[in-house]
Amino acid sequence: MKRASLVLLTLILVLATGLSACAPAPATPAAPAEEAEPAAPAAEAPPALDVVKWEYPASFGGVTINLVGDAGHNLKPYEFWKGDFEKVGITVQIIEVPFEGVYEKEKTEFVAGTGAFDVVTFYPAYIGDFAGNGYLEPLDEYMAKDPAGAWDPNASDVLAPFWELYCKFGGQVYALPIDGDVLMLMYRKDLFEHPDEQAAFKEQYGKDLAPPETWDDWLQIGEFFTREAGETLAGETLERDFYGSAEFAKRGFSFAWFVNRWAAFGEPYFDENMTPMVNSPNAVKALQNMVDSLKNAPPDVLGYGYDELRDAFIKSNVAMVVQWTDVPKKGADPTQSEIAGKIGVGRVPGWEVGGQVVHRSLMPVGRVVAVAADSKNKEAAYWVAKHVSYDRSLEDVSTALTGLDPYRTTHFTNPQAYKMFPTAEEAQAYLKGVEAAMADGYPEIFIPGAAQFEDSLDLHVNKALAGQETPQAALDAVATEWDETTDKLGRDAQIDLWRKALEAYRTLGLIK
């Protein structure tokens, strides 16, 4: 008995040691950086492109800039261009916080007035809260400094929704964009185009197999492609189960996948008087569709956040997902993906409204970079923000090393920069897909209280997905909590801000 237990314990230890020694296959080593002007990028960095013209400002004389943002690949640009910062006497100290914890961390430090950060990266839905409370430095003055090559972030190059909604509050600029998020449909082109699958679909449903146009199609196609190990898919026997679709169903941003479905009905979050519209019959129908779709998803889908949803798709486990637009870039990179060259992109499905299908893609997250009002090195902090937002932005959005997405005209007119795609045509098709998704773009709630509104919506959507509440009960609870939040923040002030937000949404064509 004693010997057997010891053998078992030893085995566990050996196994644990073995697991700790596992590592992914090494990526192709980057070419050694050459001495060049401007400063050479860090070892693992995209190659510098000579598309955007910019110049260095005078040295800031050796200052340290504390920068905070969500941990992971989207903070890499500050490492890529470390040499540029050093060249003007700036050392960037990066403080990473979890993806879901950005608001809490930054807000806590702002309220406490610690002055811990010079540069803050955050999701633009919080701009009303942060700028409205005076935590951010207005940037107009810095943007107008001379020489323009060093200070002008070239706002006219930024797509209007990203500039107007992401960066401005009360008519002033408080932030610069670094990530233009929008959700898009991506699917396995090879499966949809396979003759056997097309024939089987036609026989089963009496219509042609094509990327889903409506959310009802999403359920139908999802059901069609859901197969067990041993069954055939595109002429090959499956070694493991395969699923038709998957969702972001973990707490955090699951609300976005619900809003994709709901927004197509043309109902904004609130009416003109801040009465929540989130428990309308259409909203309930949308949430029911999302709940129903889980039966075509991997059994662990309730644990799927961004990473899991991306991997399920690019590791060839599901046929279609709605995801952020960086995923096709990663999917085209054979060092990260098992389906390189097999990804099709398209519009997020919609609903038939008034005889035509209306599509809507939420623009969740996004990232902007701003200067903290209590920073002691505001000029240097601004230049760090401007350098990433404009000077090096094409490099940052066109690499598979980050999760940053296009937000400037420059990013769409240089398909040659997206080298993960084997041909310029494929890069162009990807960019066209992103443009189409943006044309369907639907905004988050850009007024103070956005974090609370979205947190409440996310919690109850998640409870509906987990079977803890019915869609109707979940959305009724959201409506009640939204009303409470509005009352707490001051109904009259919120109504005024919401009307302005609605006007901006309409002006920008985000709500039609």
Q: Which of residues 211-250 bind other proteins (CB under 8 A)?
A: 249-250
Q: Considering the complex, what minimum distance in angstroms separates the CB of residue 462 from other proteins?
A: 5
Q: Which of residues 177-196 bind other proteins (CB under 8 A)?
A: none
Alpha-carbon distance 402 to 336, whole Å? 13
Q: Which of 304, 421, 430, 505 binds other proteins (CB under 8 A)?
A: 304
Residue type, 223: E
Alpha-carbon distance 89 to 62, whole Å? 4
Q: Considering the complex, what minimum distance in angstroms separates the CB of residue 504 from other proteins?
A: 19
Q: Which of 251, 310, 329, 387 binds other proteins (CB under 8 A)?
A: 251
107 or 419: whose CB is closer to other proteins? 107
Site of tokens 């050459």: 34
> Total binding residues for other proteins by CB under 8 A?
52
Please say whether the beta carbons of 132 and 95 come within 8 A: no
Alpha-carbon distance 97 to 108, whole Å? 13
> Taking CB under 8 A as the rule, does residue 19 contact other proteins?
yes
Alpha-carbon distance 109 to 191, whole Å? 49
Q: Which of 176, 459, 478, 511 binds other proteins (CB under 8 A)?
A: 459
Q: Is 171 helix (H, G, I), strand (E, B) or coil?
A: coil
- Per-residue contact track with other proteins, 468 to 507, x per CB under 8 A? xx---------------x--xxx--x--------------
174 or 304: whose CB is closer to other proteins? 304
Please say whether the beta carbons of 364 and 441 come within 8 A: no
Q: Which of residues 321-350 bind other proteins (CB under 8 A)?
A: none
> Taking CB under 8 A as the rule, does residue 111 contact other proteins?
yes
> Taking CB under 8 A as the rule, does residue 61 contact other proteins?
no
Cα–chain center distance at 443:
13
> Taking CB under 8 A as the rule, does residue 4 contact other proteins?
no
> Taking CB under 8 A as the rule, does residue 71 contact other proteins?
no
Q: Which of residues 81-100 bind other proteins (CB under 8 A)?
A: 98, 100
> Taking CB under 8 A as the rule, does residue 301 contact other proteins?
yes
Peptide bond between residue 147 and the one before it cis (omega within 30 degrees of 0): yes
Phi, psi at 207, each rounded to 5°: -150, 170
> Taking CB under 8 A as the rule, does residue 28 contact other proteins?
no
Residue type, 312: A
86 or 307: whose CB is closer to other proteins? 307
Q: Which of residues 429-458 bind other proteins (CB under 8 A)?
A: 448-449, 451-452, 455
Q: Which of 70, 118, 129, 326 binds other proteins (CB under 8 A)?
A: 129
DSSP state at residue 193? T
Q: Which of 121, 325, 462, 486 binds other proteins (CB under 8 A)?
A: 462
Tell me how far apart the 2 most distant CA atoms of the chain are, in Å: 80
> Taking CB under 8 A as the rule, does residue 23 contact other proteins?
no
Q: Which of 97, 466, 473, 504 binds other proteins (CB under 8 A)?
A: 466
Alpha-carbon distance 480 to 494, whole Å? 16
Q: Which of 49, 52, 95, 107 binds other proteins (CB under 8 A)?
A: 107
**Phi-psi bin for 169: left (phi > 0), alpha (psi -120 to 50), beta?**
beta
Q: Is 155 helix (H, G, I), strand (E, B) or coil?
A: helix
Burial of 238 (0-12, 13-18, 19+ CB in 10 A): middle
- Relative orientation angle of helices 471-489 and 491-507, to the nearest 10 degrees: 110
Q: Considering the complex, what minimum distance in angstroms separates the CB of residue 6 from other proteins?
A: 6
**Cα distance between the two ends of the chain:** 73
Q: Considering the complex, what minimum distance in angstroms separates the CB of residue 40 from other proteins?
A: 32
Q: Which of 121, 296, 317, 399 binds other proteins (CB under 8 A)?
A: 317
Q: Which of residues 390-429 bind other proteins (CB under 8 A)?
A: none
Q: Which of 59, 64, 93, 108 binds other proteins (CB under 8 A)?
A: 108
Number of C-beta neighbours around residue 328 at 10 A: 27
> Taking CB under 8 A as the rule, does residue 104 contact other proteins?
yes
DSSP state at residue 59? -
11 or 43: whose CB is closer to other proteins? 11
Q: Considering the complex, what minimum distance in angstroms separates the CB of residue 493 from other proteins?
A: 7
Q: Give the residue from 222, 406, 430 showing the smallest Cα distance to 321.
A: 222
Q: Considering the complex, what minimum distance in angstroms separates the CB of residue 485 from other proteins?
A: 8
Q: Which of 57, 161, 177, 252 binds other proteins (CB under 8 A)?
A: 252
Number of C-beta neighbours around residue 379 at 10 A: 16
Burial of 22 (0-12, 13-18, 19+ CB in 10 A): exposed
152 or 455: whose CB is closer to other proteins? 455
6 or 27: whose CB is closer to other proteins? 6
Residue by residue, DSSP assigns 383-436 as HHHHIIIIITHHHHHSSTTS-----BHHHHS-GGG-TTSSSHHHHHHHHHHHHH
Interface residue list for other proteins (CB under 8 A): 2, 5-6, 9, 13, 19, 22, 98, 100-101, 103-104, 107-108, 111, 129, 132-133, 249-252, 298-304, 308, 311-312, 315, 317, 448-449, 451-452, 455, 459, 462-463, 465-469, 485, 488-490, 493
